[in-house]
């Protein structure tokens, strides 16, 4: 179980796939861990050296005192790349992970080959919304918000037809550190890169969910329209499109990334 130890952070990561394959970093959403990418792994490891990690405050990574910032989350990725002696990589992030990808594409473009931004935006929600969620988790714990999160993350049809998969995600949320979750809620609350998204120069794929209540498809389309040459795809899914439309999601990601790879 590998870890990267930095000044005040222990980052848990895992590498799968051939050592000589092109590198791909996967970045998780708020409240989950790197197992959220399980549906994609069999296909991804055929073509890429896949690096998954638990964002600070999540999974088996440490929970440094918050509040955190997207800049910190982006620099955590840079530190991990440095630790692994990887100069450049493809990057795919969903929701908070997508915000991390936006930050990297703007501020650390020299580290990114191709960028996949999923169910995300350069600014998500109001400060009031995030502060209310922070207060609720502080007072009542993670279980108090999980039912509402699940309803935003999955359509009612998927909840009815794939309860086992929904339960796997529910368990990730219920097992999340309240302190880590709150610290990263602040990171999402405070990010606003809307005026800088156009600076992203990496080839970019933006994936949105037609029924996404957390980051509506209009937000994804706005991101794609702001990035020169970006490809935009809308899937029949809510927020966790990589679970609800797993096959279509995976196909889009693999096809896009392989355009810039030789693995």
pLDDT digits (tens, 9 = 90+) for 174-203: 999 999 999 999 999 999 999 999 999 999
Whether 246 has a pLDDT exceeding 80, the answer reads yes
Q: What are the structure tokens assigned to 168, written together?
A: 């796997």
> Which tens digit of pLDDT belongs to each residue from 23-44?
999 999 999 999 999 999 999 9
Three-class SS of residue 193?
Answer: coil
Q: What are the structure tokens assigned to 122, written together?
A: 């350069």
Confidence of residue 260 (pLDDT cuts 50, 70, 90): low
Domain ranges for the chain, please list them.
3-258
Three-class SS of residue 63?
Answer: coil
**pLDDT averaged over the chain?**
96
Q: Which of 48, 24, 28 is nearest to 38 (CA)?
A: 28
**7 or 161: which leads in pLDDT:** 161
Whether 66 has a pLDDT exceeding 90, the answer reads no
CATH classification of 3-258 is 3.40.50.1820, yes or no?
A: yes
Rounded to whole angstroms, the Cα distance separating 110 from 94 reads 21
Whether 3 has a pLDDT exceeding 70, the answer reads yes
Whether 263 has a pLDDT exceeding 80, the answer reads no
Angle, helices 70-83 vs 96-107, to 10°: value is 70
Confidence of residue 9 (pLDDT cuts 50, 70, 90): very high
Residue 262 confidence (pLDDT): 46
Rounded to whole angstroms, the Cα distance separating 159 from 127 reads 29
Average pLDDT of span 50-74: 96
Rounded to whole angstroms, the Cα distance separating 209 from 214 reads 10
Rounded to whole angstroms, the Cα distance separating 210 from 201 reads 26
């Amino acid at each position: 179980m590998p870890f990267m130890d930095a000044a005040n952070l222990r980052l848990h990561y895992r590498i799968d796939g051939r050592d000589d394959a092109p590198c791909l970093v996967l970045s998780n959403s708020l409240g989950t861990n790197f197992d959220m990418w399980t549906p994609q792994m069999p296909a991804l490891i055929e073509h890429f050296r896949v690096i998954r990690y638990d964002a600070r405050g999540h999974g088996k990574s440490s929970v440094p005192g918050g509040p955190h910032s997207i800049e910190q989350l982006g620099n955590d990725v840079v530190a991990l790349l440095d630790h692994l002696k990887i100069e450049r990589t493809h990057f795919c992030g969903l929701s908070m992970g997508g915000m991390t990808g936006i930050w990297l594409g703007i501020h650390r473009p020299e580290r990114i080959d191709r960028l996949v931004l999923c169910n995300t935006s350069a600014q998500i929600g109001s400060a009031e919304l995030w502060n209310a969620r922070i207060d609720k988790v502080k007072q009542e714990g993670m279980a108090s918000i999980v039912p509402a999160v699940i309803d935003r993350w999955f359509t009612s049809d998927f909840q009815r037809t794939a309860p086992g998969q929904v339960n796997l995600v529910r368990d990730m949320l219920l097992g999340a550190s309240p302190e880590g979750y709150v610290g990263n809620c602040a990171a999402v609350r405070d990010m606003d890169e809307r005026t800088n998204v156009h600076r992203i120069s990496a080839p970019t794929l933006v994936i949105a969910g037609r029924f996404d209540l957390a980051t509506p498809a209009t937000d994804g389309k706005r991101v794609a329209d702001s990035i020169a040459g970006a490809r935009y795809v809308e899937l029949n899914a809510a927020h966790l499109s990589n679970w609800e439309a797993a096959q279509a999601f995976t196909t889009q990601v693999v096809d896009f990334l392989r355009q810039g790879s030789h693995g």
